[in-house]
Structure 1
């Protein structure tokens, strides 16, 4: 049931849609954002037969802050999500995430493959090479409330939306990103820049699909392909004309994601 739950001392908002007996799918948002990014995708996923769980991570959206303040360790989010899964009684579930959500999905695959039926990690790799600069991000924490920050967020979002995205949709995606708490966003990005799973990729045993947009300026496609090559049986898809936010940029994305998940769980070749 959609509503608030206390998980690891955080009072968090969690959307829970669909038949509780259906296969569960955990959908994870990007840095600084919330479950609102999945608003247009959830109905189609429910119609396709999924139970869709969309949490606002601690400090994001409608959730209260994490007890220790903004989180800059994506592994901490992964641990929190496993505690959430326990609270919801999810012994086995699939995960789909984008950006930091994609990295967290990859982290979950490393630490809890035995619980995951499938993982779709979008706009994510095992290591970004320390980019963006952690030093620069920490310097921004001093004055992130400056009025120009909202403009920088909106323009930066527009820069990483793919060329195939309808301009009106792109403007909406960017406008929604203006809502971010800059302290939380920067902390998320510190986690993004420092999160390194390169040495643990071989531990993944669940079906996994890495997805990257060809127009994503924040990702190196070859790094994503390299990560996929180190995970037994993993797949990698490069989306032409798509940027950093596939679930927001691609019309009818629910059917696309459902297809990827079904390919992973049935073992058939992806189209």
Structure 2
């Protein structure tokens, strides 16, 4: 018999680090439409639908369901995809699933982001009432008021509202049962994975105070508040959410930017950042992650050694503007003018005298600027 799983959508290289994205109650994986494609440049992104939402079978859960049951379905999906350990981000109920995984299955998570969510959702009573209402009357009435609960005034995403209207009432009510029974406040201190909390400053359902409560309880957690965002921040403020998630999940980029500044100097990096456009943004991101976040941070070679290799490669290919920049970097990395001269003399033997002649002219100009005539 074929295993029945949560409906899901996978994007990005199969060999990339896996990142699972969980939805809010009443939505589908379309909640991540403005964020997932960008995240998939560096991750194997897997978005999933709650039972009875989007394409997931409604009978995967039933009355009296718990957040733990939903977390179990997520782990079954990960197992079926061959994913042992993964990063996770979730919105609202999807965020609660992430917190449950971090508390009860920490070995499966590499890092966690919880968006517009809570360690409790204002008590069991309102959720039991909503579950009873949906079982009695269906979802049409709730869907009519979705914009007010989900977005700031004047903003909407019609497709998400339609997903709310089309969800299975019994499965939706079972998810309400799960929220009614959910309260992780006493267990938050057990969370050990790197954790980011993202709050929508205009969110009436899970105000920033709910995320701050989690951040204060989880060791080392960080909190980001997004102005102009309500409950479905990835749909309403995707750029801000994407920036926060990248900084959290992609440690190579942050480490790479730090090393890039140390080697090339703040002035150069600031100029490069100022010139960045949407067209060049992914290339700049690539440089920070790969060149500076992985290669230059590899401890096998010292920065002095890397500078000498880089100078040689730039001379060999005639990249004299880059050479000027890396002569300055070589000085920051501890090379003396005499050592830089020795490297360039070596290039005269293996790269050719004309190339070395141009390189010496470039280096002499830079060293005169940097060292007041030394070299």
Which of the five TM-score ranges fits, normalised by the shorter chain? 0.7 to 0.9
Instruction: Tell me how far 1:104 sits from its aligned partner.
Output: 0.6
Q: Which has the higher helix share?
A: 2
- 2-structure distance, mates of 1:260, 1:209: 7
Match of residue 246 from structure 1:
233
Following TM superposition, by how much is the alpha carbon of 1:22 offset from its aligned partner in structure 2, in angstroms? 0.4
More deviation in 19-28 or 173-182? 173-182
Q: With the length of structure 1 as denominator, give the TM-score of the two structures.
A: 0.83
CA pair 116-265 structure 1, distance change in 2 beyond 3 A = farther
**Shift in CA distance, 144/183, structure 1 to aligned 2, threshold 3 Å:** farther
Q: Distance in 2 between matches of 1:134 and 1:143?
A: 14
SS in 2 for 1:178: helix
Structure 2 residues not aligned, in runs of 5+: 257-375
Q: CA deviation at 1:62?
A: 1.2
Q: 1:122-166: CA deviations, max 9, x gaps? A: 111111231661341243144233xxx424323233343135xxx
Structure 1 position 255, deviation (Å)? 4.2
Structure 1 residue 214 displacement after superposition? 1.4
Q: 2:198 aligns with which of 208, 211, 221?
A: 211
Q: Which has the larger radius of gyration?
A: 2
68 and 39 in structure 1: CA distance in 2 versus 1, 3 angstrom threshold: closer
Alignment map for 1:253-268 (pairs within 5 Å): 253-262=241-250
Contact 2:21/2:45 (CA < 8 Å) preserved in 1?
A: yes
Who is 1:83 aligned against? 76
SS of alignment partner, residue 259 of structure 1 = helix
Matched, 1:160 2:154: no
When residues 106 and 14 of structure 1 are mapped into structure 2, their CA distance, relative to the original with a 3 A threshold, is same
Match of 1:15, SS state, is: strand
Q: Give 1 or 2: higher strand fraction.
A: 1
Which 4+ runs in 1 deviate beyond 6 A? 264-268
Q: Which secondary structure state, in structure 2, belongs to the residue aligned with residue 133 of structure 1?
A: helix
Alignment of 1:179 onto 2:173: no
More deviation, 100-109/34-43: 34-43
Deviation at 1:265, TM superposition (A): 9.4
Which 5+ residue runs of structure 1 have no aligned equivalent? Answer: none
Shift in CA distance, 105/66, structure 1 to aligned 2, threshold 3 Å: same
1:27 to 11, 18, 21: 21
Number of residue equivalences:
255
Change (3 A) 1:67 1:25: closer
